[in-house]
Amino acid sequence: MNSSLRWLRLASLVLVVVLASCSMFSGKKARIEPAPLVEFKPSLTVRTLWRADIGAAGTPFLTPAFADGKVFAAGSGGKVVAVDASSGQTTWSITVDAEIAAGVGADAATVAVASARGTVFAFDAATGKQRWKVKASTEVLSAPAVGSGVVVVRSMDNKIVAYDVETGERRWLVQRTAPALVLRSAPGIVIADGVAFVALPAGRLLAINTATGVARWDAPVAEPRGATELERVADVSGLPALLGRDICATAYQGRIACMDTSNGSLRWAREFSADAGPAMDQRYVFAADEIGVLAGFSRDTGGSLWRSTALRGRGLSAPVSFGRAVVVGDKEGYLHFLSREEGAMLARLNTGSQVRAAPVVTGANLVVQTVDGKLIALTTE
């Protein structure tokens, strides 16, 4: 980003901080005119399989989850649903008396969401029956992570808490000091093989043993730099991408970096500023920067493969790798399918409403949640 645009954006953030009189700001960007949609001949056919209505998302932090053949999703009004990923039939639907602000986290047995007031709810994944609810210390924006017998939640005061999936009893708590200013965003949590990988403000990624709460490693995705607190904001953005022994994350005003899951050692890093998380597959890592430039990197070396400015200023979601395409949504409701290898446009689909959440791969299909409350399942041919 050029220096004049960066300073304009930082100036707007100062205003947000002053008006809010708090230590969080929304990260509103300076106005960038969306790149016009250029006509092209599609070389990939995208077909809609089913649609379901779950109620308006309301926040940028509600994302669907896939486990055990079902898609779990929530609307901000309190509705939580389980939908068969193949048929689109609703397996169960419940409504909690709360505004849902974070979720969904799920595995084959448990589904979890959090309310705008910091209440964490856990449900049986098979029936939708509420198992328990607990009150976090402050507001929760990051989706709870479910796995290894625990539900892990990070609240805005940077407390990371694990709750027993069956009882809601607190297993452990880890406290990390929050910087003076943080983005009002949702650094994500991923659980795999008994370890919770927790993205944090100030550009850190923390690996915690899910059984004991003991930190295995704590590594920088980005190092805060600059003379002022605004310049030093370098929060990790969105959900880290985890595959095998690699975990990759992006940071605002920072880097895209990939690390070894066993010890946190850095595999590679590149200067990059993003407000959404990356995607990874067997060969590549993909990320959209804060102004909508989508890039592909070599998973092994971090070498730059391609950069596409075709979607600049279009408010992109986090990407996902799907078949021979990398897919992103935008603020006008379009899903864009680009070539994984070259970044060329393959297909485009209008969902009818803004797409904030990263699309979710459900086996051979793709599911996207729109801001107006639709779940849409897609396949490619």
Nearest of 104, 70, 103 to residue 365 by alpha carbon: 70
**Is the pLDDT reported for residue 7 higher than 60?**
no
CA distance 374 to 188: 23
Residue 64 placed within a domain: yes
According to the model, what pLDDT value does residue 233 have?
79
pLDDT in tens, 101-116: 998 999 999 999 999 8
| Local structure of 50: helix, strand or coil | strand
Residue 28 has pLDDT above 70, yes or no: no
pLDDT of residue 220 exceeding 90: yes
Mean pLDDT calculated for residue range 189-209: 96
Which H or E run includes 8? helix 3-20
- Exposure class string for 19-43: b at 16+ Cβ within 10 A, else e: eeeebbbebebbebeebebeeeeee
Mean pLDDT of the chain: 90
Predicted pLDDT at 145:
98
pLDDT number for residue 29: 53
Per DSSP, the residues of 298-348 read ETTT--EEEEE-TTTTS-----EEETTEEEEE-TTSEEEEEETTT--EEEE
User: How would residue 2 be classed by pLDDT, with cut points 50, 70 and 90?
Assistant: very low
Q: How far is CA 317 from CA 97, 166, 289, in A?
A: 29, 33, 10
In a domain, 48, yes or no: yes
Predicted confidence at residue 22, as pLDDT, reads 39
- What confidence score (pLDDT) does residue 6 get? 45
Residue 79 structure tokens: 């509705």
pLDDT at 10 over 50: no
For residue 89, pLDDT over 60 is answered with yes
**pLDDT(45) > 90:** yes
Give a yes or no: residue 11 inside a domain: no
Residue 12 has pLDDT above 60, yes or no: no
Residue 91 reports pLDDT greater than 60: yes
Q: Which residues pair with 111 in a beta bridge?
A: 106, 123
CATH of the domain at 251: 2.130.10.10
Interstrand relation of 284-288 and 279-280 (parallel, antiparallel or unpaired): antiparallel
pLDDT above 70 as % of the chain: 91
Residue 7 lies in a domain: no
Task: Decide if 8 is inside a domain.
Answer: no
Is residue 346 a part of any domain in this protein? yes
The predicted model gives 347-370 an average pLDDT of 96
Three-state DSSP class for 175?
strand
Task: State pTM to two decimals.
Answer: 0.91
**The pLDDT value given to residue 226:** 77
With a cut of 70, say whether residue 367 has pLDDT above it.
Answer: yes
Specify if 369 maps to a domain.
yes
* pLDDT at residue number 341: 97
For the stretch 265-315, pLDDT in tens is: 999 999 999 999 999 999 999 999 999 999 999 999 999 999 999 999 999
Distance (Å, rounded) from C-alpha 59 to C-alpha 180? 24
Q: What is the pLDDT of residues 166-188, one digit of tens each?
A: 999 999 999 988 776 666 778 99
Q: How many domains does the chain have?
A: 1
Query: What are the structure tokens assigned to 33, written together?
Result: 């005119």
Report CA-CA distances (Å) from 167 to 124, 142, 171, 308: 12, 21, 10, 48
Neighbours of 183 (CB within 10 A): 22
Query: Which of 200, 253, 249, 250 shows the shortest CA–CA distance to 230?
Result: 253
354 belongs to a structural domain: yes
pLDDT at 195 over 90: yes
- Range name among 51-60, 139-148, 276-285 with the lowest pLDDT average: 51-60
Residue 350: domain span? 34-380
Is residue 149 within 8 Å of residue 112, measured between CB atoms? no
76: left (phi over 0), alpha (psi -120 to 50) or beta: alpha
